[in-house]
């Protein structure tokens, strides 16, 4: 299922650099995906139960690298394909 993840200014303001579960992308993804086993790596959304790696688009990878290096970032959205059972109820 194709979904859109929107990273807001609030996600950026409250996000933690270098933190796989509290970075802006993880915070945004947790609003619509089952976050109990979700973390964000530089290039993937990682689910640990069941183990599943979902590639992130180039724009999201660039955002993560810029945010972690303290560069200026802006709110943005990106699309990913995820299994429907990972959506929050």
Instruction: Tell me the pLDDT of the chain averaged across its residues.
Output: 92
* pLDDT tops 80 at residue 44: yes
**Number of domains the chain is built from:** 1
Q: Note the pLDDT tens digit of each residue in 62-84.
A: 999 999 999 999 999 999 998 88
| pLDDT score of 89 | 64
Within a domain: 89: no
Within a domain: 48: yes
Q: Which residues contact 82 (CB under 8 A, 6 or more apart)?
A: 1, 3, 33, 45, 54
Comparing 88 with 48, the larger pLDDT belongs to 48
* pLDDT tops 80 at residue 86: no
Within a domain: 87: no
Residue numbers of the domain that contains 78: 2-82
Within a domain: 88: no
| pLDDT score of 66 | 97
């Amino acid at each position: 299922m194709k979904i859109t993840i929107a990273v807001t200014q609030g996600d950026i303001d409250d996000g933690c650099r270098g933190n796989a579960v509290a970075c802006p992308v993880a915070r945004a993804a947790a609003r619509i995906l089952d976050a109990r086993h979700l973390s964000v790596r530089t290039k993937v959304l990682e689910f640990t139960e069941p183990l599943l790696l979902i590639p992130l688009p180039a724009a999201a990878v660039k955002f993560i690298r810029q945010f972690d290096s303290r560069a200026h970032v802006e709110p943005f959205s990106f699309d990913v394909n995820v299994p429907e059972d990972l959506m929050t109820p």
